[in-house]
Structure 1
Amino acid sequence: MISLTQLCEKMGNRLRPINGDPVGRVELTGVHISELDDPTPYLEGGELLLTTGIPLAGERETVRDYINRLAARGVVALALGLGAGTDAVPAGLEAACTDAGLILLVVPEGIPFMHVSRAYWDLVGETEQADLAASLSLQTSLTQAATRPEAVAAVVKVLSTALGGWAVYLPADGSAETYWPPAESRILPQLREETARLGLAGTHSAATFPLQGMDVIEYSIIADRRTAGFLAVCAGRPPRKADRQLMLTGCMLLAVTARREWQLTRANSILSTMTATLAMSGFVDAARFVAGDLTGPPLAERVQLLAVRGDNLESLSTAELAEQVAAMLTGESAAKLGDSIRRSRLRSMKDGFCYLILESPADSGHGVRDPASVETAVSRRLGRPAQFAAALTRPMPLSQVAESLGELRRACEVAPIGHLSTGQSLLDPRTAEWVVQLTDYRRADLVGTVRSYIRHQGQWEVAARELGIHRNSLRHRIGIASKLINADLDDPDVSANLWLALRRVS
């Protein structure tokens, strides 16, 4: 808006205050010319009124009544044109204007009022062009911000800076807010409450409300017919038309960003399912090839396989699934396993079970290092009974995921609701190779020998008697078996896993 100071500066000596003092910063809504005794029906307030003095002819009371009418209507300044029947300022005019708070100016003789009017509209045109250029520059900055990697944060920062206040984006899923400047984190709790109270979700709408003495405008961000979040803005000045256009542009760009993120998430979900399915089917090289298009690092060399059963698993996000499974544990193990699940990129549904391939602690530095030691507990998530059961393998090479799938599923099937079945019910993935090594040895029955040795808990005499061989022969066979599988048969973990595996061999 144009100020009276700007107009006086542009006119120079052709428009000056009566007393020569600088005028205050008063904004003008327009310049109006009138010789009516009562021009107020044609005025809206905020104008500079130009007159040659005809309405001012008369007594002091007539002049004072005229000035009071103008002031009551909201006129901010009166300019008296000299030389057209009025050679001097009428008596009492300056005092009446001072009492009414009206700025009095004079237009010297020979200066047409049209010059004043033209100067005003020239200033309006210049200001609008400047505003348009600034608006276009800000619109460009907003659009560029939306193309950056952290698009939401960039858009919020540009909006906040342009409006001289603060801006906050509140995701509809309840995840962390994005705001600028950082010091405005203080308003987040109240802003969340106000957003929930307004109930803007699902509608293309906006609302204005006071917050800590400031006026806040909040818009709902809709993409693909669902609410992505809410944009709350507090300008550092009364919002102008260009400011509101900038806010709407910010809303549009945030909606586009949300749509783009959803599309990327869907694409990654498809690739994730494909990669997990290939790995669980034994096609590890193909899985690595497909995983090359996934965002994130390459597939880990050592992994753990998690199986979950329960209702509506497809509707749960990986983060929600992590919360459910972690709630089955206690202590530090719960946090580690939850973190490992949240970071998993490989997830697949098969026959009603949800499978996730997790990075092994050796590769990631996170996760459950010894599943057999995990203390299981009924889920206490939000005080509700657990609706899911799960099973987790030991760390293993990615190439052994397919072999462990059947055993993992059986463990998950028998796991009680609210419990995570861990190492006790799942064989060491090396056992499959151990059985092959023992079975392929043709010079002696190593399978029967090892089975008898483990059954009798390493008692040489009893095992040799059952096998019908000398105990030295038994020692020789056990030595060969230990070398073939590269493991100590007296190790409880080795013997327990091998015993379960050999019981399945006819």
Structure 2
Amino acid sequence: MVSLAELCTVLGTHLIPVNGRSLPARDLTGVHVSELEDPTPYLDGGELLLTTGMPLGGNPAATGRYVQRLRSRGVHALGIGLGPWLASVPDYLSAACDEAQIHLLAVPDGVPFQNVSRAFWRLSARTGEAELLGSLGTQTSLAQAAMRPGGAAAVIRGLAQALGGWAAFLPSGAEPARYWPESTVTLLPLLREETLRLNRAGTHAAATFELHGQPVVEYPISAGGRIHGFLAVGPGRKLAAPDRQVIMTVCTLLALKARQREAASDAAAVLEAAVAKLVLHGHTEAARILAEDAGHPELPRRMRVLALAAPGDSVPGQLLLAAPALKPAPGVPPLTARLPDCTLRHERDGVLYVLLPEDGSTGAGDTGAGTSHAWNEAADVPAEPAELSGAVSDPVSLSEVPGVLPGLRRALAQAPAGTLAGTAAPAHAAAQAWVQELAGYSRADLVGTVTEYLRHRGHWENASRALGIHRNSLRHRMALVSSLLGVDLDDPDVFAPLWLELRQREA
């Protein structure tokens, strides 16, 4: 941009301040020539208006009205071309301009207005070229930063510094936000809320909103037909064209980084699906070698196998999001792992098999804490839990995984929609439910009590001695157990599976 002071310096004696006021560094929006009595319909404000003095009317009253019209339009300066109409600048014009705070200048006789216009546009072109070169330098620096490790954070920092404000990138999924400066962290909850609102409204183009009374501009980061996150910018000044070019460059760099991560993730998913397939087919050693080569954490010694199926064309991501809502059958523990992070999975014959470590972790390492944000991605839309069915095996060693698959498929085929079945026999499943019920009683150790009672085949003296309690206390506890479970512990169909489950628990 070009200031009035800069223009006067370049033009020298061809543009002379009249009223003696110091010229500010405020930028001019343009130079306009008009001999109309009211030129304001053709002005935007901030201009240097040039005239020969014809519209002034030749008297103080008409001149005052003319100057007031210019003031109401926000004209920055008035230049009077001396010559046929005015040999000198009238004092009443100078006084009116002083009152309206419009800078008054004189163009000497014989100096074409075109000289002033040409000088303005030459300076504008030079300034624009300098801004463009600065913008290109900034864009080059940002591109170089994006190539380094942690490039996204460096790009966000460089953007915020270039704009004199703050910037934040809110990626989809559990990936943490990148922002600069550090104080921007306090804005993240509001930014996420506003971003989700815009996303629900289907606003997938640049949008502007206010936070704490300050304007924020937000841009979607899209690549491959998916929204990978949003870039939010709180500029410290009004955005110019070069600033917008820098922002669009950052959007492109973030989209490229997202595509790189997506490609790496897809490649890792293919390798981990191959690991799961090898385990399911009994090639345990080959699975261990491939997992090590793929950078996956060491395979656990024991696993549970989860099978999921739903009618229609639900993708794995939808099934894994819906699975925790399945109602477990008696004796079947609920799904506690963060299933979308379970990477060892393989789809075959319309069934998704997922290998879950016995301890309930995801098996994918620490993916970092964070809230998952759905940016209108189909894979983030859960399947209907009412249509989904599942079955999960008991913990088995890796080498035993293929052996549980037939029973797992049978259990899945028999599981009603919306439920999670187990592979244990009905009696075993009932015994698991009984043990869970006993373990949930907090006022006495009923699990230990029943274990010793069955271990000593119902002999009160021996069982009470092993427990270190009086036999009347043992009788009281066993009466409580019978009431709690609603079964007869002397029934062989009850105590046999219950004893086996308690032994399994001890092991």
Query: TM-score normalised to the size of structure 2?
Result: 0.64
**AA in 2 matched with 1:188:** L
2:305, 2:401 within 8 Å by CA — same for their partners in 1? no
Of 73-82 and 83-92, deviating more is: 83-92
Partner of 2:389 in structure 1? Answer: 388
Partner of 1:97 in structure 2? Answer: 97
Q: Does 1:280 align with 2:280?
A: yes
1:195 positional shift: 0.6
**AA in 1 matched with 2:310:** D
1:223, 1:255 within 8 Å by CA — same for their partners in 2? yes
Partner of 1:486 in structure 2? Answer: none
Q: How do residues 351-370 of structure 1 correspond to structure 2 at under 5 angstroms?
A: 351-359=349-357, 361=359
Partner of 2:30 in structure 1? Answer: 30
User: 1:413 and 1:103, CA in 2 relative to 1: closer, same or farther beyond 3 A?
Assistant: same
Partner of 1:20 in structure 2? Answer: 20
Unmatched segments (≥5 aa) in structure 2: 366-381, 429-454, 458-498
Partner of 2:186 in structure 1? Answer: 183
Equivalent-residue separation in structure 2 for 1:406 and 1:6 (angstroms): 85
Equivalent-residue separation in structure 1 for 2:104 and 2:222 (angstroms): 53
Partner of 1:306 in structure 2? Answer: 305
Equivalent-residue separation in structure 2 for 1:343 and 1:225 (angstroms): 23
1:68 positional shift: 3.6
Partner of 1:370 in structure 2? Answer: none
Partner of 2:449 in structure 1? Answer: none
Partner of 1:346 in structure 2? Answer: 344
Equivalent-residue separation in structure 2 for 1:130 and 1:224 (angstroms): 35
1:32, 1:47 within 8 Å by CA — same for their partners in 2? yes
User: 1:382 and 1:292, CA in 2 relative to 1: closer, same or farther beyond 3 A?
Assistant: closer
1:319 positional shift: 8.5
1:304, 1:357 within 8 Å by CA — same for their partners in 2? yes
1:271 positional shift: 1.9
Residue-by-residue CA offset, 1:373-421 (whole Å, 9 max, x unaligned): xxxxxxxx9996583333234263x444445545555566666763463
Q: How do residues 388-407 of structure 1 correspond to structure 2 at under 5 angstroms?
A: 388-394=389-395, 396=397, 398-406=398-406
Q: How do residues 67-466 of structure 1 correspond to structure 2 at under 5 angstroms?
A: 67-80=67-80, 88-106=88-106, 116-144=116-144, 146-147=146-147, 155-169=155-169, 180=180, 181-188=184-191, 190-192=193-195, 194-196=197-199, 198-200=201-203, 205-210=205-210, 212-292=212-292, 294=294, 296-300=295-299, 302-311=301-310, 315-317=314-316, 321=320, 324-325=323-324, 337-339=336-338, 341-359=339-357, 361=359, 387-394=388-395, 396=397, 398-406=398-406, 409=409, 418-419=419-420, 421=422
User: 1:65 and 1:112, CA in 2 relative to 1: closer, same or farther beyond 3 A?
Assistant: same
Partner of 1:447 in structure 2? Answer: none
User: 1:165 and 1:423, CA in 2 relative to 1: closer, same or farther beyond 3 A?
Assistant: farther
1:338 positional shift: 0.9
1:313, 1:354 within 8 Å by CA — same for their partners in 2? no
2:56, 2:63 within 8 Å by CA — same for their partners in 1? yes
Equivalent-residue separation in structure 2 for 1:187 and 1:494 (angstroms): 51
**AA in 2 matched with 1:418:** T
1:64 positional shift: 2.7
Equivalent-residue separation in structure 1 for 2:29 and 2:83 (angstroms): 27
1:322, 1:338 within 8 Å by CA — same for their partners in 2? no
1:172, 1:229 within 8 Å by CA — same for their partners in 2? yes
Residue-by-residue CA offset, 1:94-128 (whole Å, 9 max, x unaligned): 11112333112345789776664444233212220
1:325, 1:420 within 8 Å by CA — same for their partners in 2? no
1:424 positional shift: 8.2
- Aligned residue for 2:419, secondary structure, equals coil
Equivalent-residue separation in structure 1 for 2:200 and 2:356 (angstroms): 40
Equivalent-residue separation in structure 2 for 1:400 and 1:259 (angstroms): 39
Larger Rg: 1
1:206, 1:220 within 8 Å by CA — same for their partners in 2? yes
2:307, 2:408 within 8 Å by CA — same for their partners in 1? no
2:296, 2:364 within 8 Å by CA — same for their partners in 1? no
1:306 positional shift: 1.6
1:56, 1:90 within 8 Å by CA — same for their partners in 2? no
Equivalent-residue separation in structure 1 for 2:162 and 2:316 (angstroms): 36
2:169, 2:232 within 8 Å by CA — same for their partners in 1? yes
- Aligned residue for 1:21, secondary structure, equals coil
Equivalent-residue separation in structure 1 for 2:138 and 2:411 (angstroms): 59
1:92 positional shift: 0.9
Note the aligned Cα RMSD (angstroms). Answer: 4.9
User: 1:400 and 1:149, CA in 2 relative to 1: closer, same or farther beyond 3 A?
Assistant: farther
**AA in 1 matched with 2:309:** G
**AA in 2 matched with 1:304:** M
Residue-by-residue CA offset, 1:129-181 (whole Å, 9 max, x unaligned): 12112221333344345545556555555444433444455567798766553
- Aligned residue for 1:338, secondary structure, equals coil
Unmatched segments (≥5 aa) in structure 1: 368-380, 428-456, 460-491, 498-506
Partner of 1:474 in structure 2? Answer: none
Residue-by-residue CA offset, 1:305-355 (whole Å, 9 max, x unaligned): 32223315973545862762486579xx9899414x454321112344432
Equivalent-residue separation in structure 1 for 2:218 and 2:362 (angstroms): 41
1:191 positional shift: 0.5
Equivalent-residue separation in structure 2 for 1:363 and 1:41 (angstroms): 70
1:44 positional shift: 4.9
- Aligned residue for 1:299, secondary structure, equals coil
User: How many residues are matched?
Assistant: 415
Query: TM-score normalised to the size of structure 1?
Result: 0.64
**AA in 1 matched with 2:187:** E
